[in-house]
Amino acid sequence: MRQIGYVVDDIETAMRDWAEKLGIGPWFYAEKIVDQNFYYKGKPSPIERSVALANSGFVQMELVQQRNDAPSMYLDFLKAGRIGVQHFAYWTTTFDAHMAAAKAAGMTVGMGGEVGANGRYVYFDCEIHPGTVIELSEVSGPKGRLFETIRKASEGWDGRDPIRPFPDLSKM
């Protein structure tokens, strides 16, 4: 497991709180993530979401705030009255092989999409704890390089510049 994903209702406050109270940061923040080919339960869905990423040691923390009412597993989580840990993510450079293994094990996809080249992801429609699901995230391309940049920024972080802009994946 490489990432713990939290669904929040106020991402700006959450980033500040995590940085000030927990010492986790710096946060790399994208007010609007551009997902390509996003789908929910097999159908396209025009999701709008903000994302912030930071590391605590080897594990990445992700804060997600959905900004519209498009169908998604994030929205399902919120409508069920939940807030907090929504997913655990596993990263892979062999996405197709891991997808085949997951499907062979009977896992089904609840939602998925792409962020950047070689940046596919899926959330499996299986709760391991009430509301918490598994994500499989491809890190072969720029997304993997972004994640490494975020991890390195967290090493020895002194608390300065706790919220930073999300880098342009097309330039990584």
In a domain, 44, yes or no: yes
Q: Which of 138, 53, 37, 159 is nearest to 93 (CA)?
A: 138
Cα 45 from chain centre: 17
In a domain, 101, yes or no: yes
In a domain, 45, yes or no: yes
In a domain, 29, yes or no: yes
Quick one: DSSP state of residue 132? B
Torsion of CA 4, 10, 12, 14, to 10 degrees: -50
In a domain, 165, yes or no: no
Q: Per-residue pLDDT tens for 100-118?
A: 999 999 999 999 999 999 9
In a domain, 68, yes or no: yes
How many domains does the chain contain in total? 1
Prediction pTM value: 0.95
Cβ neighbours around 104 below 10 Å, total: 8
Q: Per-residue pLDDT tens for 8-64?
A: 999 999 999 999 999 999 999 999 998 999 999 999 999 999 999 999 999 999 999
**Could you tell me the two tokens for 74?**
């994030």
We report the CATH number of the domain holding residue 109 as 3.10.180.10
Query: What does residue 147 show for φ and ψ, rounded to 5 degrees?
Result: -60, -35
> Which CA distances in Å does 124 have to 24, 78, 108, 109, 154?
28, 17, 6, 4, 29
**Could you tell me the two tokens for 95?**
């996405």
Identify residue 111 by its one-letter amino acid code. Answer: M
In a domain, 163, yes or no: no
| Domain that residue 10 falls in | 3-157
In a domain, 172, yes or no: no
